[in-house]
């Protein structure tokens, strides 16, 4: 195994670092808030304060909040003077922003793929994410062995930006689902069917997506009033929903359901629910 840098040690970035260390990589980590990366030292990561300290790695994995954060980090990687390194961006961005970042890196003599992932912390720690690669064939093949340590499935979607495009497409129905579930549960009001039984039956049916099947207990607890802090929070889902709406501008696709759903997310965030799991949106709408 080689040396990998993980840039951004939020919940997912930290999970990437832990997983890569577990499978035998040497891992260097950087985070804008240095203190948040220091916990990873205890499990063998090398923590640096500045990106230009990172030289002897074969690849940089970026796990960052938005395009602005990615652009800032990419500028620092370029300024460090490294060449012929691979940059893998797992962040969820607009395809246009991803292509601009890829062009900057190519002009600086660096290879690039966008590879956003489907899944949360637990699958990341167990190498069970879904990876969506965007980039040239050659760069995708360089990235594949690394991403296969994090993912149960890695698909090369096409040129730079297609990974980002695909991620927006799969996150859209996820964001919408929590509002749909609220409407389904509202139909059951007065029926005598309690939340736990309703969710169990829905999860066991064709109306239950993977997110419900895997998180049935969390959803029931949430509906019973115990909101859960989550990696895929209302804030995150709303951000991705807005990106999908932005991507749809100027196209012929209909996003009327998405627009209505975004209003529900905005209302929930205004009520201070942004940090909680997507199922909190369901609870909020059922009880509103």
**Is residue 1 predicted with pLDDT exceeding 80?**
no
The span from the CA of 268 to the CA of 272, in Å, is: 7
SS3 call for 212: helix
Query: pLDDT at position 35, please?
Result: 86
Residue 250, pLDDT score: 77
Confidence of residue 218 (pLDDT cuts 50, 70, 90): very high
Contact criterion met (CB below 8 Å) for 52 and 79: yes
Model confidence at 5: pLDDT above 80: yes
- pLDDT surpassing 90 at residue 22: yes
The domain spans of the chain are 3-159, 165-287
Give pLDDT tens digits for 29-71. Answer: 999 998 888 889 999 999 999 999 998 999 999 999 999 999 9
161, β-bridge pairs: none
- 165-171: average pLDDT: 95
Please tell me the CATH code under which domain 165-287 is placed: 1.10.1040.10
DSSP three-state, residue 32: coil
pTM of the model: 0.93
| Neighbour tally for 222: CB within 10 Å | 24
**Separation between Cα atoms, residue 43 and residue 17, nearest integer Å:** 10
Specify the CATH number of the domain 3-159: 3.40.50.720
User: Cα–Cα distances in Å, from 228 out to 17, 37, 136, 225?
Assistant: 24, 24, 40, 9
Residue 16 pLDDT more than 80?
A: yes
Q: Is pLDDT above 90 for 135?
A: yes
Mapping DSSP to helix (H, G, I), strand (E, B) and coil, where does residue 151 land?
Answer: strand
- With 0-12 / 13-18 / 19 or more C-beta atoms within 10 angstroms meaning exposed / middle / buried, residue 243 is buried
Enter the tokens of residue 52: 């230009």
- Residue 253: per-residue pLDDT: 82
CA distance 282 to 182: 5
Write out the two tokens for 177: 């689902």
């Amino acid at each position: 195994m080689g040396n990998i840098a993980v840039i951004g040690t939020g919940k997912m970035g930290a999970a990437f670092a832990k997983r890569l260390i577990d499978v035998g990589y040497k891992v260097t980590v950087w985070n804008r808030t240095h203190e948040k990366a220091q916990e990873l030292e205890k499990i063998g990561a090398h923590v640096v304060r500045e990106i230009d300290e990172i030289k002897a790695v074969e690849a940089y994995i970026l796990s960052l909040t938005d395009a602005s954060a990615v652009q800032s980090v990419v500028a620092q990687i370029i300024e460090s003077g490294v060449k012929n390194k691979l940059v893998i961006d797992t962040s969820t961005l607009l395809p246009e922003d991803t292509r601009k970042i890829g062009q900057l890196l190519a002009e600086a003599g660096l290879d690039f793929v966008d590879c956003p992932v489907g899944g949360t912390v637990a699958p990341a720690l167990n190498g069970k994410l879904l990876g969506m690669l965007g980039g040239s064939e050659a760069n995708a093949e360089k990235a594949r062995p690394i991403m296969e340590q994090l993912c149960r499935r890695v698909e090369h979607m096409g040129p730079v930006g297609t990974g980002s495009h695909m991620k927006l497409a799969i996150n859209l129905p996820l964001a919408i689902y929590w509002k749909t579930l609220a409407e389904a549960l509202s139909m059951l009001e007065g029926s005598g069917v309690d939340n736990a039984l309703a969710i169990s039956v829905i999860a066991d049916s064709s109306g239950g997506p993977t997110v419900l099947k895997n998180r049935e207990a969390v959803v029931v607890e949430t509906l019973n009033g115990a909101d859960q802090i989550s990696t895929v929070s209302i804030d995150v889902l709303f951000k991705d929903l807005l990106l999908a709406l932005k991507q749809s501008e100027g196209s012929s696709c209909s996003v009327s359901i998405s627009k209505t759903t975004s209003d529900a997310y905005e209302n929930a965030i205004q009520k201070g629910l942004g940090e909680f799991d997507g199922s909190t949106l369901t609870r909020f709408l059922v009880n509103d």
